[in-house]
Amino acid sequence: MKKLFKWKNSKSHKEKEINPNNSNEEREPRPKKSIFRRFCTAVFLKPEEHNFAKQKSSANNYTEPDTEDFILFYLLEINKNLMLNSKENPSQLGKLNFITTLMKELNNENIDLKEVSSCCMEGIPSKCRLLRPICWKLILSYLPPKKSKWKESLELKRMLYDNYVEMAFQGKRNNSFLMENFPSEDVLHSKGLAKVHFESCNSNDHPLSNEKTSNWNNFFNDQKLWDEIEKDTKRTKNHSPFFSDINMNNEFYHYPNLSTKMRESTIDFENHYVAITRLLFVFAKQNPDVKYVQGMNEIIATLYYCFYNDEHPFFKKNCEVDAYFCFERIMQEIKENFLLGSDKKLVEMDHRTKQFSEIFKKTDLKLWEHLKKFNVSPEFYFSKWLILMLTQEFDLEEILNIWDPILASKNFLDYVSYLCLGILFSMRDQLVGAEFEGIMELLQNTSKLNIKSILKISNNVFKEVGNEGKKK
């Protein structure tokens, strides 16, 4: 394995000089070993000695995170379950290539995001899934490619999200008389956060006021928005118990909420769907042009689930902040899909549907004609798959696998179109042998399809169409 790499910080034998006459002469401090060298050293230790990584990675020890220790932690955890000898187990070859390529890249001070994206295009191997959160944050430009900037960037994002929450929940502070639950002016000022000031309610500002400047009116509008979002988040992936489980990251109300039940409760816990509701509530307040639209809950739930299940305590604790800014990044590209009644949305969707139909017809004319014969147009299935980025078609873990190439691609929605073709082609035989009702039933029940097969077909079509485009 050593032959695959050159140690960045090691010197050749010719460069090492030994002076026996001056044994007391000061030596240069040894440079820090590269991540990969530290990894290779660690994997040859006894399994119980690997615990040092977890001991170093407790939440308390990472108030000032060490970027290289972050990465070393993930690599050591992966190595516990990964056989590196591909000769004895040929099925591990793909995993070995993935982790080898990714390790070489993460070892660099300036990470090549194109290389990381290229690794993710084939899907992250299940044995390497611990690296998924860090890969997603890199390819979504949440973490900067320069590793020395990670700490500063993460601290800034956490401070910024705290400020967003402060502004979003201003109505609750003003009208629920819970000011004592929020940081003092001095604490906020020390963190560099601006606090929104409100004057006490006067005779012109009462609970029945419809004025836009009314604190009461804003409070009731906020409650209406919260209830609208919560109605959807409570139903998010209701077949999975995760979102109804307790969110230990927000113990003792680190962040507030507008839930009536929680306001009257004395129990210091909340469910995960409350955290997702808060994320969407803050986003809607920060983006009044988009606000909240049903379906956004499915997108942000995928990010939150991925980041909450990060094995590293530091990132796990701050998964809400990470999910918010990665969601903002995704929404920059797909927000037109959620602009209700927008002419731009209709034009965009019509264009993408026609483009999808053309590629479909070109790559599998027989299947395309069969669906057309029974009047099964792409509008019946493609629009939903595209807008929600396939989040309602598969289980959570499978959605993560599908999202690897989506987020790694230059254009998310373009690649979703190829995944839609992959779904159709993976059940081609069943579709060709069915009529309208049977076809619609197949298109509405995709959860049992083989994800690896879909990804393989999608990538092949993507490369084929892409190469044809280059020739033209």
Instruction: Please give the domain boundaries of the chain with CATH numbers for all domains.
Output: 32-138 (no CATH), 152-337 (no CATH), 343-471 (1.10.472.80)
One-letter amino acid for residue 210 of the chain: N
Average confidence (pLDDT) over 38-55? 44
Among 26-40, 367-381, 447-461, where is mean pLDDT lowest?
Answer: 26-40
- With b for 16 or more beta-carbon neighbours within 10 A and e for fewer, the 350-377 pattern comes to eebbeebbebbeebbeebbebbeeeebe
Instruction: Look over the chain and give the mean of its residue pLDDT values, rounded to a whole number.
Output: 76
Greater confidence (423 vs 56) lies with 423
Predicted confidence (pLDDT) at residue 432 exceeds the cutoff of 90: yes
Q: Please name the residues in contact with 181: beta carbons below 8 A apart, sequence gap of 6 or more.
A: 253, 256
Position 139 pLDDT exceeds 60: yes
Q: Which two tokens stand for residue 254?
A: 């680190």
Quick: pLDDT tens for 255-264: 888 876 555 5
List C-alpha distances in Å: 464 to 270, 301, 471.
48, 33, 11
Query: What does the H/E/C string look like for 370-391?
Result: HHHHCCCCHHHCHHHHHHCCCC
- Token pair 């995944």 is found at 419
Provide the token pair at 312: 């590293």
**Could you tell me which of 191, 169, 155 has the C-alpha nearest to residue 322?**
155
3-state helix vs strand vs coil in the chain, percent to 5: 65, 0, 35
pLDDT score, position 214: 60
pLDDT of the residue at 88? 45
Beta pairing partners, 110 = 146
Q: Specify the higher pLDDT residue, 460 or 202.
A: 460
* pLDDT score at 107: 77
Are 171 and 218 within 8 A, CB to CB? yes
Asked whether the beta carbons of 105 and 111 are under 8 A apart, the reply is yes
Q: How much is the pLDDT for 453?
A: 93
Q: Report long-range pairs for 365-373 (Cβ below 8 Å, ≥24 apart).
A: 366/432, 367/424, 367/425, 367/428, 367/431, 367/432, 370/431, 370/432, 371/431, 371/439
Contact yes or no for 121/462 (Cβ under 8 A): no
Do the beta carbons of residue 273 and residue 233 sit within 8 Å? Answer: yes
Mean pLDDT of 417-438: 95
Residue 85 has pLDDT above 50, yes or no: no
Arithmetic mean of pLDDT, 315-331: 94
Q: How many CB atoms lie within 10 A of CB 394?
A: 19
CA proximity to 312, closest of 141, 145, 69, 49: 69
Q: What is the pLDDT at residue 158?
A: 92
What is the model's pLDDT at position 238?
80
- Number of other CB atoms surrounding residue 424 within 10 Å: 24
Listed ranges 67-76, 157-166, 239-248, 309-318; the one with the highest mean pLDDT: 157-166
DSSP result, 118-180 = HHHTT---GGGGGGHHHHHHHHTTSS-SBGGGHHHHHHHHHHHHHHHHHHHTHHHHHHS--GG
Mean pLDDT value of segment 309-330: 91
pLDDT tens string 173-192: 554 433 333 344 454 444 44
CA nearest neighbour of 459 among 406, 413, 411, 383: 406
